Amino acid sequence: MKPSKYFVTGIDTDIGKTIISAILVEALEADYWKPIQAGNLEESDTQIIEQLISNKQSHLFKETYRFKTAASPHYAADVEGIPINYNKFQLPETNNNLIVEGAGGLFVPLTKNHLIIDLIHKLNLPVILVSKNYLGSINHTLSSIYALQSKKIPIAGIIFNGGYVKSSQDFILKYSKIQSLGNIPKIKHISKKSIRVYANMIKELLI
């Protein structure tokens, strides 16, 4: 069976992509790659994933770029005097399933000429879109879907993170005709155990 490879992106910043990525990595016993980390180098997203998964199959690849500055990648690169070479972003070689996690939302500047959505297109991966219920989230979710579809980027499904709001989720799914891959409630105590519980819950939807 061909390995499953997905790019995880969100409808906004701080939407819970890393927690969802941990759940996906655990569900698929997948490898993980964060192409670029800007800020929080002491507790990077890769380190968080490592702390939250239980399986022994997953391999965590090094980021292509790491910046101390907590900002959009293009600005962090300018501040630290480290130019980002767009051509350096290449999918890691692996025969395993793979989860790739983006930075922020689709229109976060990666370089002076490229956005995160351009990187997704370059890597040629289907997207798992992380949504969250808040005022304006319908607009943000449908706008993200429209942007991905306009670039002919396939969307494997939507994961709703946080509290469940039936009317919003029903509208998004009916209007977009994108499948739901599950609803992850707000996790009070994030741990290996809780990640494993939700990984088991959505596993059958991914395989």
Say if CB 28 and CB 203 are below 8 A apart.
Answer: yes
pTM over 0.85: yes
Burial of 204 from C-beta contacts in 10 A (0-12 / 13-18 / 19+): exposed
pLDDT value at residue 176: 97
Say if CB 67 and CB 80 are below 8 A apart.
Answer: yes
Mapping DSSP onto H, E and C, the string for 75-132 reads HHHHHHCCCCCHHHCCCCCCCCCEEEEEEEECCCECCCCCEHHHHHHHHCCCEEEEEE
Say if CB 36 and CB 111 are below 8 A apart.
Answer: no
Res. 1 pLDDT band, cuts 50 70 90: low
Q: Which architecture characterizes domain 5-206 according to CATH?
A: 3-Layer(aba) Sandwich (3.40)
3-class DSSP assignment, residue 162: coil
pLDDT tens by residue, 123-178: 999 999 999 999 999 999 999 999 999 999 999 999 999 888 899 999 999 999 99
Is it the case that residue 2 has pLDDT exceeding 80? Answer: no
> What are the domain boundaries of the chain?
5-206
pLDDT tens by residue, 89-98: 999 999 999 9
Residues annotated as part of the active site: 34
The residue type found at 106 is L
Residue 51: how many other CB atoms lie within 10 Å = 13
Is it the case that residue 104 has pLDDT exceeding 70? Answer: yes
